[in-house]
Amino acid sequence: MSIFVGKETKLLVQGITGRDGSFHTMQMLKYGTNVVAGVTPGRGGQTVEGVPVFNGVGEAVEKTGANTSVIFVPAKFAVDAIYEAADAGIRLVVCISEGIPAIDMVKVVAYLRDKDCRLIGPNSPGVVSPGEAKVGILPGHIFKKGNVGVVSRSGTLTYEIVDQITKSGLGQSTCLGIGGDPIIGTKFIDCLELFAEDGATEAVVVVGEIGGRDEQDTAEYVKRNFKKPVFGFIAGKTAPADKRMGHAGAIISGTAGTAAEKIKAFEEHGIVVGETPTEVARILKKHLG
């Protein structure tokens, strides 16, 4: 069992003919993902890695039954790509694009509330359910099928945490990066609600970073509502105030945004925090055996 993506996923790649879109289409196909269509306006009728290319998402959905989209288009076109996917009936949109203005994402998130469409991202590395499907840019070889759910704000840290979990002998049920931007479509709590109902997930790792207070809200939710064990890692312990560190959302603009406050909130609400990715894996191994 998995959340978000799996054997039932019929994937459409928006921006499939671009450098990143074509490369990662090849990687997703190699992993075993059912990539059924690509979309690039003006390139309809072509193929990429054997995948048919259409001029629009509506046509692609009608012809192939695609239910999931991954977006590999420049930031200035990404908002329209999200709208087009939602309007065509796509149920899950994974937006890899980085640099979309926050004000535009406020409008997108509001628009999607009236649609049967979930957005992961933007600035997301994607979603993997090991052995079933890979959507995005996550390196497939580090994953192993198992019972640990992983949800992260950081792409690179996602890779490191997962790699350490796999090397410890454990595996993952579903792993995703929700994106490091200030306004995103799916948050930690949304993922935990699904992990709670997933019979294949026995424990969850939450990887946070500086900026905002999503981690604190998540800790409160875990304390009140989440029955499975949760483990955590927070990046940015040495980050200076008022200086953006990588992600657009990774900026300390008050005491709530610091790594120290987030770690404190996790620990006070029963989330075991590791000092390093290796320690997180070691704690998990000790708990799950």
> What radius of gyration, in Å, describes the C-alpha atoms of the chain?
18
DSSP letters for 224-272: HH--S-EEEEEE-TTPPTT---SSTT----SGGGSHHHHHHHHHHTT-E
CA angle 54, 59, 65 (to 5 degrees): 100
Distances (CA, A) of 79 to 14, 122, 141: 12, 10, 31
Q: In this structure, how many other beta carbons lie within 10 angstroms of the beta carbon of residue 109?
A: 15
Residue 185 and residue 211 in contact, taking contact as beta carbons nearer than 8 Å: no
Return d(Cα 193, Cα 111) in angstroms, integer. Answer: 22
Helix (H) or strand (E) holding 13: strand 11-14
CA 195, 145, 70, 155 torsion-angle sign = positive
**CB of 190 closer than 8 Å to CB of 160:** no
Residue 103: partners with Cβ closer than 8 Å, 6 or more residues away: none
Question: Of the residues 24, 247, 269, 287, which is catalytic?
Answer: 247
Rounded-to-integer distance, Cα 9 and Cα 68, Å: 6
Residue 269 appears among annotated catalytic residues: no
Return the closest-CA partner of residue 231 out of 272, 197, 264: 272
Q: Indicate which residues carry an active-site annotation.
A: 247
